[in-house]
Amino acid sequence: MSHNITSRSFLLSWSPPEGEKINGILRNYHLSVSQHKSSVIEDVKVPSSVLWYGLKELTPFTTYDCSLSGITTDVGPAAIIVIKTAEDGK
């Protein structure tokens, strides 16, 4: 996963899982974002044809935990990334 980070937003982008690492037809992705070790602020299903997701209206200089899983008939293992938004004005 990659990210474009500002003080109040970030963009996640990813590549689809490799064929041998997926168990069935990829139907969707499950993305969950929370403030570090806190409550979930975004919990969405993203269509398998979409390889990015943007979040806005975030808090500056704050750490967020992002979890992304592929969904076939079940939810697969998650890729985890920790992102810290920039300070305001940077």
The whole-number pLDDT of residue 33 equals 97
Residue 62 lies in a domain: yes
Rounded Cα gap, residues 71 and 14, in angstroms: 15
How many other β-carbons are positioned within 10 Å of the β-carbon of residue 33? Answer: 21
What domain count does the chain have?
Answer: 1
Residue 57 lies in a domain: yes
Residue 89 lies in a domain: no
pLDDT digits (tens, 9 = 90+) for 77-86: 999 999 999 9
Q: What is the CATH number for 77?
A: 2.60.40.10
* pTM value surpassing 0.75: yes
Residue 4, token pair as written in the block: 């474009």
- Residue that is written with structure tokens 């704050």 in the block: 62
Q: Nearest CA to 70 among 40, 46, 36?
A: 46
Give the residue numbers spanning the domain of 53: 2-17+26-84
The whole-number pLDDT of residue 50 equals 97
Residue 72 lies in a domain: yes
Residue 33 lies in a domain: yes
